[in-house]
Structure 1
Amino acid sequence: MVTHVLRSLWAEPRPANPPGRVWRDWALVAVLVSWSVVEAVLREDLASRPLVLLAVLAVLAPLLWRRTHPFGAVAVSFGTWTAVDVVRILAGDGSLLLYSISAALLLPYALFRWGAGREAVVGLGVILVWLAVTNVADPVSLSDTVGTYGFFLFAAALGAAVRFYAKIRMRDIDEAKAREREQLARELHDTVAHHVSGIAIQAQAGRAVARSDPEGAIDALVTIEDAASRTLTELRAMVGVLRSTQGTELAPRPGVADLEGLVGDGDARPHVEVVLSGELDDLSPAVGSAVYRLAQESITNARRHARHATRVTVVVTGDPDGLRLSVDDDGAPGTAGSTPPGYGLVGMRERATLLGGTFHAGPTAHSGWRVEATLPRAGSAR
């Protein structure tokens, strides 16, 4: 089992898309450099101030690359540190380095947070070698030695823990997206099955009346053409999002007309109000179902997380190009951010995006939380 764990760690790839340098990184290095200069000027126990200051700057500079090149930053920083300590041992120089150099404690964290598995193992070896050398250069008590090792190993363990949490978080987000895709694919499957059934019935009717009523046969062909066009549109969407064909449900899917059912009884709190306006007829079933699901999830979130909310307003407006959905609650300001983020919003955004629409959710300027989505009338898979 231990061998399997070590092999898994060695084969662990780097996390994707590590964040690049931002102004805070430059500010951190600038503060540490200023601290080092001031310390080099004021301290009296430094044998060679320019060389010590140069070595400290070489140790601190790699902090700028600690996320994009974690192993390189560790190798340069702790390699320089080790070389300085070896020189101090050979020269018999017992002077101490600058205290600002302790900021290199960030590097073990970054190594295990952003480095590949083999980089983390080799980099940790570099750090442990430096710890052994520096204990020779600056002999300390056993408790101080254990504490020093503990600090660096704790930083590495913290980086590994944050990395593991981020990995689990991304996996859960991917699973939420996959579930939303599967549900949308099932709904599109139902729509296609309905259209194909209609085409078959109209074709049978047209063949039956073709000789006795040619006009009726032409009308049946027109209906078949319209249904076939809708079917092709839904098929393209389904092919774009289909991830699983198992467990397909053929029950009717709710749509815009079913939004009134979300109001519930008058005793439920917060009270839900649904306002429908504009052109809401002749919608793609997938779009109608998406509007219902987005509204349903938004109302559920408001009831669970909006403190002191008394009203939730659902407004659906249709026009020739598409639909606009907005869901507002009057809960206390900032309540949404006070709870750990879930995956409901991830699924809602995924559904809207797959149908060619947009999605936004966040606190309003005054109070409460707002969910907004726009969807094309026909729906198009991306």
Structure 2
Amino acid sequence: MRLWETSRETGRIPWPSTVALAVFVVAGTRFAAQDQQGVREPLDAFAYALLLAGPALLLLRNRRPVAVVAGVCAVAFVYFAAGYPYGPAFLPVAVACFAAIVSGHRRAAWWSLGLLWAGHLLVAHWLYRHLPPGGDDAAPWGQEIGVTVWVVAVLAASELVRVRREVWLRERAERAAAERRRADEERLRIARELHDVLAHSLSVINVQAGVGLALLDGDPEQARTALTTIKSASKEALGEVRQVLDTLRAPGDAPRAPAPGLDRLPELVEQAARAGLAVDVRRTGPLPALPPGTDLAAFRVVQEALTNVVRHSGSRAARVVIAHDAGRLVIRVDDDGPATAREAGGSGNGLAGMRERAAALGGTIEAGPRPDGGFRVTAELPVRTEETT
């Protein structure tokens, strides 16, 4: 965002500072004129009009900085060419130049101040014979050193403030962008959590509801078991959803319950068994203590993979292999298929969510049919331990 855009958006008229500047310019010039009597032209109505014209133009410096800096420099040139006393009459030039440069209109400010400087040289050294006051001599060239220093000081100070404000605005924009990214990441995390929780539990509920309806008349006891499974799955889903929502209501508080991890795999296997899916879990070698994010991602990958088996596979058995190798946690979930054509519901975002979880940790997910039939999900998640750091 450029500086002049913020000024034009506010569009406010700086009345207090401009009025104070006008009072200072008029009073200071009157005081300075007392020591220049007989050397410069006395102040008259036209002189006061020029002294007030510069500050009056400055009222629009936030809205029209280019026109203001050009107009103020023109007024200052007319005042000087008319032979009126030196003094703070040139202060509005500095303010207009400062406002134009800080707002991003550097070229206009440099050109206006440069033309004013050139006009001063022309009047002070060549046109003084034809302009008031009468009998005036050419200005000494040594005087131009002070004028040059004043011009350079105004431009340098304006450029310094412009650069500092641009850096500040850029840093503010970067902080705002970072906050938006964090908010987007948090929304994505919550969406993944809700999807994983609801997709798994509702899939179990969906399957068991179908079993219960099919067996309600012929096998009431089996139907009762299906309803019990529905009750258990829905209760667990409500608990996990409540935990996710608690983090929204109180983002600074610690969660009431720890996030799920691989230590809860037995519960997951039990839920799958109640849904009619036999799950065989095998661990290859000892697993190190996993970071919370990796532990949660590993649990969700297994949960989503088993959910997809319940939804989309005709197989009633799945195999889960968990191994730690060379700083990587490898998870493989297999089923023998075949895929079913029935509609099991869901948003179709499960695999995408798993890949996003893995990518956030620097890992990968591969999912697809096996050459010998069935379906396989393989996840590789980096694990940073004392041995690998």
- What TM-score does the superposition give when structure 1 sets the normalisation length? 0.49
TM-score by length of 2: 0.48
Could you say which structure has the larger radius of gyration?
2
Q: Higher relative contact order at CA 8 Å, sep ≥6: structure 1 or structure 2?
A: 1
